[in-house]
């Protein structure tokens, strides 16, 4: 894994969490919806379920919430780890550029505005910064 891939892990995990949160919202909406009644007038078969129809959705909600909690814990730990790696870079401009991109997930044009630089200058600083990143697994060699 190169420096850029390492730093992008938090962004990808954040997107995964957002996707799971959207799925959770859908499950919650499903659990609140009213199931359709039996309008045929005929009694249903003897194998009728004893639990309410929303129980299955609630169980899925609980399971997904556990997954999301674990992902959020990992996300917080990963951002802390990435922040520590970025803080090892001696140049403040490079450090700021990487933090704006990989901690705050800002777009390049916003980073250029924040740093009061041209887009080209920001890309140059970013490329130099990536060369100065010392990945945690590289230190043990």
- Domain holding 57, by residue range, is 3-33+53-135
Number of domains the chain contains: 1
Q: Which residues contact 10 (CB under 8 A, 6 or more apart)?
A: 75, 78, 79, 82, 102, 103, 105
Q: Which residue has the higher pLDDT, 24 or 49?
A: 24
Q: Is the pLDDT of residue 18 over 50?
A: yes
pLDDT, tens only, 51-84: 666 678 788 899 999 999 999 999 999 999 999 9
Is 109 domain-assigned? yes
Tens of pLDDT, residues 112-134? 999 999 999 999 999 999 999 99
């Amino acid at each position: 894994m190169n420096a850029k891939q390492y730093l992008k892990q938090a962004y990808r995990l954040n997107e995964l969490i957002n996707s799971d949160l959207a799925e959770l919202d859908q499950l919650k909406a499903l659990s609140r919806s009213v199931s359709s009644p039996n309008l045929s007038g005929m009694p249903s078969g003897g194998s009728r379920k004893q639990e309410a129809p929303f129980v299955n959705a609630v169980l899925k909600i609980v399971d997904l919430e556990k997954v999301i909690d674990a992902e959020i814990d990992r996300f917080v730990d990963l951002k802390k780890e990435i922040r520590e790696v970025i803080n090892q870079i001696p140049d403040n401009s490079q450090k700021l550029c990487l933090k704006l991109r990989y901690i705050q997930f800002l777009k390049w044009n916003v980073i250029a505005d924040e740093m009061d630089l041209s887009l080209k200058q920001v890309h140059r600083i970013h490329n130099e910064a990536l060369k100065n990143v010392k990945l945690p697994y590289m230190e043990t060699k």
